[in-house]
Structures are given as C-alpha cells and as structure tokens.
A and B are shown apart, each in its own frame.
Chain A
Amino acid sequence: DTGVSQDPRHKITKRGQNVTFRCDPISEHNHLYWYRQTLGQGPEFLTYFQNEAQLEKSRLLSDRFSAERPKGSFSTLEIQRTEQGDSAMYLCASSLPSSTDTQYFGPGTRLTVL
C-alpha cells in the first residue's frame, strides 16, 4: 500500500498524559499537513510542512501541541498534558509540490482522552 499511513489508528489516554502520533506520507510528497476533525465537523487545518520546515501553524495548535518532520519524510504530532477537548480524529495528508491543493489523506488516528 503506497498511500498515507498513520500510527496508531486508535489511542485512548487519561487526561494529563502525553501522546505522540506518526504519519508516513506518500513517497516523494514533500508537503505534509495535519488536520483535526471532531464529531459532526469537517477537518480543521493544524499545521503544514514543506520538507522538514514547518511553514504554517493554526491558532488551534496550542503550545501543548508540537509537530516535527526531522528528515523531511515521516512526521510526528505530540500532544502534552492531554485534555478531554483534545479528543478527535487527527488526520495527516500529503501532496506533491506541483499540486498542493490535491491532498491525499491517511486513515487518521482517533484519540480519546478520558
């Protein structure tokens, strides 16, 4: 399967714990995006990487959230001191530089904070 992959697919954690999610984009896609989707809403943009550089962050990305893409390939999204309001589906997408509006999504990581 050469699509976008995400790990884990599901994560249940207790409030206050730290969690980290991983995204592996389609190879040769040097643009990588993170979105968050809550129940009954469309996905909301969180942040974007071009290669290893994080070029844009949404106001939704509080200081408890940090994303990295150290070698310009896979990316991680870490949430520190999780809160119940962080419960959501975290979606990763990737695109080619020539067509950044055509983004391919991974299956998502569903986070439940108890």
Chain B
Amino acid sequence: RKEVEQDPGPFNVPEGATVAFNCTYSNSASQSFFWYRQDCRKEPKLLMSVYSSGNEDGRFTAQLNRASQYISLLIRDSKLSDSATYLCVVTPWDGTASKLTFGTGTRLQVTL
C-alpha cells in the first residue's frame, strides 16, 4: 500500500465549478501536510499547508482529518488557470529534517 494515495483523475470540470480532491495517508506519525501544485513538465510548487482546523486561501480550502488520516482540497469557482496536477504531501517529523512523501497527484482539467 502506498504511503499517500490519491485518485489520479483526470477531473474534467467546467469553468466556475467546485471540485474536491481527497487523499489518504497510511503513516499515523505523519506530522505536516501540504498540497502542492504541479503544471505540466514543471516543478512542484507549494499551494498551501493543511491544518486540522482547516484553512482557506481565496478559492482554495484544505482540511485535515487526523482520525481518518484523510486530507482534502476544495477549489471553488474553478478557473482555466487551475488546470494542473495537485499533489498531496505528508511528512514525518524526526526533529531534524522533513522528507516529503508525495501522492501520485490528481490531474485537474478546467474547460470552457
């Protein structure tokens, strides 16, 4: 079983739609959680951190459920520019440095 599991998609949605991605992780010792965005043939870029209390950044909302080991990302009012692969990332914490563990990514295609 992979440490971080995501539905690879693709999710094809019309502009203006709301879309949600989910991710599950297997290591209960995971400490930090993130969503990264990766455009085609580009490097991953941090989209947002994920906290148990939930956090929102404009049209993006991330949520963490530690009991279920589940992370979500909600995108409201989708834009064409949101088309990308969204990577769910978890890290253990050993007090020194963090090795990012990525899911396979969920591909989003926003259409007119």
Contact = CB atoms under 8 A, between A and B. Distances in A.
Task: Label chain B's interface by main secondary structure.
Answer: loop
Among B46, B87, B100, B101, which residue has the most Cβ atoms of chain A within 10 A? B100
A100 B44 contact: no
A28 interface: no
A60 to B, nearest CB: 12
Interface string B68-112: 000000000000000000010101010011111111110000000
Interface string A32-46: 010100001111110
Contact of A42 (B93, B97, B104): B104
A1 interface: no
Contacts of A44: 102
A108 B45 CA distance: 12
A90 to B, nearest CB: 11
B38 to A, nearest CB: 8
Given A40-B8, A42-B87, A42-B105, A101 B43 contact: no
Among A33, A43, A91, which residue has the most Cβ atoms of chain B within 10 A? A43
A43 B99 contact: no
A28 to B, nearest CB: 16
B96 A101 contact: no
Task: Label chain A's interface by main secondary structure.
Answer: strand
Interface residues of A, number: 26
B34 interface: yes
B52 interface: no
A88 to B, nearest CB: 13
Interface in B29-57: 31-32, 34, 41-46
Interface of A: 31, 33, 35, 40-45, 48, 50, 55-56, 91, 93, 95, 100-108, 110
